[in-house]
Amino acid sequence: MKRTKSGKAWMHEHVTDVFVQRAKAEGWRSRAVFKLMEIDDRDHLIRPGETIVDLGAAPGGWSQLAVQRLRESGRIVALDLLEMAPLPGVDFIRGDFGDAETLGRLETLLAGERAGLVLSDMAPNISGIAVADQARMMDLAEMALDFARCWLKMDGSFLIKVFQGYGYEDFVRAMREHFRSVMTRKPEASRDRSAEVYLLGKGLKTVGKRLENG
């Protein structure tokens, strides 16, 4: 199949991207690791001894960094619709986060233990229809927020990727309803043209009600 001009441009940008090159040189699974690295350096989210839930984990860059910074103290539970190569110190579940059976497996694995940090780098498969893609992104964000409310410790943190656009301001308000502190982060590794930003909630105001299997 012949590549389009836009496809060739994307490939050239990807191959020459300084963060892609750095990830390969340093042995990281993806350039996305540098987004979490910058945010964690600033906000100190990964705390040894804590349980961390990594939603949308594949290919595993964020979990890889979390393993390193937990220093063999704590645990990581990761989930993604795509397969992820095994990582020592990470319990991985492959499944759709929006599926009740998958969520039940995740909650069973947590076995009632609250997390100190919930990470969500989830994003829908992009259809190219902007309105539909944004709606699906915000649906995922709302599900992740509900999960974090039910499974975080009161002093825990929730870091989530969202796209600016329809529903974004409503989601920020929802975050502020449930967290004592809500901040916006745009790490250097997040491309300038991208609508993605990261929202960081710290300190739950109230704990959400879990499902029966939780």
How far is the C-alpha of 42 from the C-alpha of 133, rounded, in Å? 30
Residue 96 marked in a binding site? yes
Q: Along the 214 residues of the chain, how does pLDDT read in single tens digits?
A: 455 554 454 444 555 799 999 999 999 999 999 999 999 999 999 999 999 999 999 999 999 999 999 999 999 999 999 999 999 999 999 999 999 999 999 999 999 999 999 999 999 887 888 888 899 999 999 999 999 999 999 999 999 999 999 999 999 999 999 999 999 999 999 987 788 999 999 999 988 776 544 3
Residue 10 marked in a binding site? no
Closest residue by Cα to residue 117 from 85, 146, 76: 76
- Could you tell me the strand order of the sheet in which 196-204 lies? 90-94, 75-80, 51-55, 115-120, 152-163, 196-204, 179-185
User: b/e string for 176-208 if b means 16 or more Cβ within 10 A?
Assistant: eebbeebeebebebbeeeeebbbbbbbbbeeee
Sorted by where each starts, the structural domains of the chain and their CATH numbers stand as: 30-204 (3.40.50.150)
Active site residues: 161
Residue 121 marked in a binding site? yes
Tokens coding 58 = 């594949």
Tokens coding 182 = 């809500």
Residue 170 marked in a binding site? no
- The pLDDT value recorded for residue 33 is 97
How far is the C-alpha of 158 from the C-alpha of 156, rounded, in Å? 7
pTM here? 0.89
How far is the C-alpha of 185 from the C-alpha of 173, rounded, in Å? 16
Q: How many CA atoms lie within 13 A of 123 on its CB side?
A: 15
Strands 51-55 and 115-120: parallel
Helices (H), 57-129: 61-70, 100-110
Q: What is the rounded (10 degree) CA torsion for 12, 15, 20, 24?
A: 180
Tokens coding 10 = 């994307």
Residue 62 marked in a binding site? yes
